[in-house]
Structure 1
């Protein structure tokens, strides 16, 4: 990915970045989070805990500023993400913050994220 594509994608509104996330994650079969003795979390503004996820390491790395400055990008296998992470997040009432860019993010219900990922992954079978 070149710098122009990187910057262009980051400038897109949350819904477009969400679609990009679904396609790239299904294609690469990995999700990226931020880790430092625990996974980075955020607040959705309504008191709910969210976990930020990214489609590529470069996008995760770009968010290692401010409260996440000590975090490092870490990949998560797509099958582990679907089978373990999303199930656990739903049980713990944790939402997914998909592809934050420092300005905004797509806060997604786990069931919606799971359905969208499975639909996209089915195209690769």
Structure 2
């Protein structure tokens, strides 16, 4: 994906990026997160909403663009089956939300892990 395409997508609304995220994850069967050198995943806190969330991206390029101002974070792929089987229950247990595809303006679609799982299952069913 070219830098222009990447910037175009990052400029979309949170809802448009969410739909793109679903399409890409269904196609590629993986979700991207950011981890540090100790393999700890990035989680963010929104003071405005009073919640913690795991930011996720549909492709490595988008995660890398988000962390381009630091060398401490690298994109890491989580296979979709592993995300659904292990991450969704873990995030739910830990009380973390999922921040889907932060954009250039720092807007994102925040959803519960179970809701994201349902949306992904629905998108998977529609694809086949």
Asked whether the two chains share a fold, i.e. TM above 0.5, the reply is yes
Paired residue secondary structure (1:101): coil
| Match for residue 115 of structure 1 among 114, 118, 127 | 118
CA contact (8 A) 1:44 1:107 kept: no
CA contact (8 A) 2:12 2:103 kept: no
Partner of 2:91: 89
Displacement of 1:21 in angstroms is 0.4
CA contact (8 A) 2:45 2:53 kept: yes
Structure-2 separation of matches of 1:65 and 1:101: 13
Shift in CA distance, 9/78, structure 1 to aligned 2, threshold 3 Å:
same
Structure-2 separation of matches of 1:69 and 1:112: 32
Structure-2 separation of matches of 1:41 and 1:20: 22
Partner of 1:5: 5
Give structure 1 regions of 4+ aligned residues with deviation exceeding 3 angstroms.
Answer: none
Structure-1 separation of matches of 2:51 and 2:3: 33
**1:30 and 2:33 are equivalent in the alignment:** no
* Residue segments in structure 1 that go unaligned for 5+ positions in a row: none
Structure-2 separation of matches of 1:61 and 1:49: 21
Q: Deviations over 1:16-39 (max 9, x none)?
A: 101100110110000000001200
Displacement of 1:7 in angstroms is 1.2
Task: State TM-score, norm by structure 1.
Answer: 0.91
Root-mean-square deviation (Å)? 1.5
**1:53 and 2:56 are equivalent in the alignment:** yes
Shift in CA distance, 43/26, structure 1 to aligned 2, threshold 3 Å:
same
